[in-house]
Amino acid sequence: MNKPFFHCPNCKSKDITGGNIEIDVDVWQEVTCEKCGYEWNEIYLFSHAENENGNEIDKDGKILPPLDPWEEDPKYPRADWQYIVGNGDTNLGYWDWVNSCKEDSEYSPLKA
């Protein structure tokens, strides 16, 4: 289990066990050190949002460029973007182009 603390804050042992994730006002987990018996709660904060394809999105739904810049959105193939760039119809980068397509409901992927 990936633990934010990684070790006991009391004795520094890494032999720690997390209980169930609890959700009330906060999301938190009670963690116990197996070595010294110290107990603490780890409180989790919202990290980020992803769309159905696993792309990180901002609060407006705009896709943030992935860590791997060669990924593509299956609905908007890179080949389409390259075709449009080749025609001189856009000077946007690929992910900026994907976002502009999503805002334009008229867009449908090229079939060629």
Contact residues for Zn ion, defined by CB under 5 A = 8, 10-11, 13, 33, 35-36, 38
38 or 107: CB nearest Zn ion: 38
Nearest to 62 by CA among 15, 97, 18, 24: 97
Find the shortest distance in angstroms from Cβ 22 to Zn ion.
Answer: 21
In the complex with Zn ion, which residue's Cβ is closer, 34 or 50?
34
Smallest gap from Cβ 30 to Zn ion, in A, equals 14
Closest CA to 51 of 36, 71, 30: 71
Task: Between 13 and 82, name the residue whose CB sits nearer to Zn ion.
Answer: 13
Shortest CB 36 distance to Zn ion, Å? 3
In angstroms, the CA 105 to CA 110 distance is 14
Min separation Cβ 20 and Zn ion, Å: 20
Nearer Cβ to Zn ion (33/101): 33
Contact yes or no for 36/48 (Cβ under 8 A): no
Could you give the CA distance from residue 41 to residue 6 in angstroms, rounded to a whole number? Answer: 13
Contact between 28 and 40 under an 8 Å Cβ cutoff? The reply is no
